[in-house]
Chains A and B, each alone.
Chain A
Amino acid sequence: MLRYVLGRLPSALGLLAAASLLIFWLMRLVPGDPVDTLAGPDASPEARAAIRAELGLDQPFLAQYVDWLGDVLTFDLGRSFVVGGQVSDLLAAGAVNTVVLTLTALALAVTLALVTAVTAVVAQRRWLDALLAGINTVALAMPTFATGLLLVLVFAVVVPVLPSGGTPPDGFVARPDIALQYLLLPATCLAVPVWAGLSRFLTEALRSQLRQPYVTTARAVGVRHRRIVLTQALPNALPSAVTVLGIQFGTLLGGAVLVEAIFTWPGLGRLIEEAISGRDYPVVQVLLLLSVAIFVVTQLVTDVVHAWLDPRIRIGGAA
């Protein structure tokens, strides 16, 4: 198992290194000079040069890159060009909101997907299958911004029962009931496409498990359908479902940018949007790198969980 994980590390690290170089280079291509933003229009050439030197922008490209990489690796993320605060503080504040939002959405999507897929396969009703397949296709066809807009329209404008945006004023811990009201719409919005993809895949995987010879054997000895689904088909379908969830998780980050914009949720998605329009290099670079790092780690975790659930990989050490 450990060897299996270690075997995946070099390519993951290589991908991260290449991504960091690409990101750093991309940010140097962005038109406009951050010195302009900082120094203001009336700054003297000497003042501008001083700012440039202070930020290290007068160094050659590779020197700046190595310098930045060293800082990132030692978690010295520097100061924001525009807001002025420490990048790490900005990140920490946004990360809390985004993590709460995405984890709630993920929990919602996984629970609902398990419930709908298992119910459909256990019940074996034609009308239920058709209904769920229909809802599923429509959910897949709803872009995140459309879902969000519709949710706000229905639950905050036409029938004003939930807040249309923002984070709970008392935080997530002090008043969990109020926090839940604020979380419900954005988390649902983020969960819809994940639920749709996962439940569609899981239903299909469960059905294909039910066609396996071992299920025929179980039926022959008189095991009930519900029991076969829950104790035989589901455990066998889970490993590949985890892989699908891993892929879905990647789209969750992109979705968070939209959901945070619609629901004015001050998380990492809003931060990257604002940082790019303000040409705040230090913030943008770290956020882009973070998104790739999350992708790489998700892939690793997905592989590990997949291996852990699938004894053929866990014991064999190779797949």
Chain B
Amino acid sequence: MRAALATPKGVAGLVLVGGIVLLGVLGPLLAPYSPTQQVPGANLVGPSAAHWLGTDDVNRDVLSRTLAGIRVDLLVVFLAVPAGAALGMLVGLVTSWWKVTDVLTQRVFDLVLAFPTLILAIALAAVIGPGTTTIVLVVVAIEVPVFGRLVRTSLRTVREMPYVEAAQVVGARPWWLLRRHVLPNSLEPLTVQLALSMSVAVFIEGAMSFLGIGVKAPDPSLGSLLKDGTRLMYDAPFLSLGPLLVVVLLVLGLLLLAQSLSEAHRD
């Protein structure tokens, strides 16, 4: 894994993701205004020294809103995805031990994965209402079957290995087998999937907030800023450029990390 991250792609990915994480974490210190503060007299002004990314139609500083918006995506990427992954792996591991629970769980996973992601998101948002919590829940709901499947596949592959059968013959406990053989062998595909899922999570946050079922106004997120940008496209075409660049660079960084990890895995 360390070798993978030392490739040009790996370094580029780390720099992009690391840079945006830093911007998000240090956001409150760097931002010239509060994300919801209305600056008197600054209505839809273009990029300038006072407002690097301009201001929106209710006089809010877009740079400050972008920095605050990054934090929503960091929450979704670094909290919701790992939570969904952990839960999915736990469910996958436990249920695949017995035939009945295994078949049942796989059918439930099939069912969840049969819904297009965004349509599932809209349906869930209709039931529990829009908000950041809804985005987190949607991401968790989608990642649980993905990681449940993944861990089940590695589990089945590893279980067929002669050394695992040998370990079972000499009386190894299931939990020991998991820790000693199954998890280390699944580590590579899991890290690749983790990076991919994180990029998908940025898509989901963006899409949900763009459609108005994500973060609630006036709080910003990268998706809601692009929604504002679209609405004000003819009055201020520059508004969406900053948040747009951040979204694309964040996803690009995560994809590069996933690619470098999977290429190292293949070699």
A residues adjacent to B (C-beta < 8 A): 14-15, 18-19, 22-23, 26, 29-31, 137-138, 140-146, 149-150, 152-153, 157-158, 164, 250-251, 253-255, 257-258, 261-262, 272-273, 276, 279, 284, 288, 291-292, 295-296
How many interface contacts (CB-CB < 8 Å) are there between A and B?
A: 116
**Complex partner residue of A149 from B125, B244, B251, B259, CB under 8 angstroms:** B244
> B252 an interface residue at 8 Å Cβ cutoff?
yes
Q: Nearest CB to that of B245 among chain A residues? A: A146
> B122 an interface residue at 8 Å Cβ cutoff?
yes
> B127 an interface residue at 8 Å Cβ cutoff?
yes
- By the criterion CB–CB under 8 Å, are A143 and B251 in contact? yes
> B211 an interface residue at 8 Å Cβ cutoff?
yes
What 7 A-B pairs come out closest when comparing CB atoms? A254-B118, A254-B116, A141-B252, A141-B251, A253-B116, A276-B126, A145-B210
Residues of the A chain whose Cβ atoms lie less than 8 Å from the Cβ of B123: 23, 26, 276, 284, 288
Cα separation A284 to B237 with both chains bound (whole Å):
34
> B93 an interface residue at 8 Å Cβ cutoff?
no
Cα separation A143 to B205 with both chains bound (whole Å):
10
Interface residues of B in 89-126 (CB under 8 A from A): 107, 110-111, 114-119, 122-123, 125-126
Cα separation A251 to B125 with both chains bound (whole Å):
19
> Smallest CB–CB gap between B38 and chain A, Å?
24
Cα separation A257 to B207 with both chains bound (whole Å):
9
Decide if the interface of chain B is mainly helix, strand, loop or mixed.
Answer: helix
Residues of the B chain whose Cβ atoms lie less than 8 Å from the Cβ of A258: 118, 207, 210-211
Contact code string B121-150 (vs A, CB < 8 Å = 1, else 0): 011011101000000000000000000000
Q: Nearest CB to that of A150 among chain B residues? A: B244
- By the criterion CB–CB under 8 Å, are A15 and B118 in contact? no
> Smallest CB–CB gap between A193 and chain B, Å?
9
Among B22-30, B164-172, B227-235, the stretch that binds chain A is B227-235
- 14 other A-B residue contacts (CB within 8 Å) besides A141-B255, A142-B251, A149-B226: A22-B111, A26-B123, A31-B127, A137-B252, A140-B251, A146-B226, A149-B230, A149-B244, A152-B233, A157-B234, A250-B116, A254-B119, A257-B211, A291-B115
Cα separation A272 to B117 with both chains bound (whole Å):
14
> Smallest CB–CB gap between B233 and chain A, Å?
6
Cα separation A256 to B47 with both chains bound (whole Å):
33
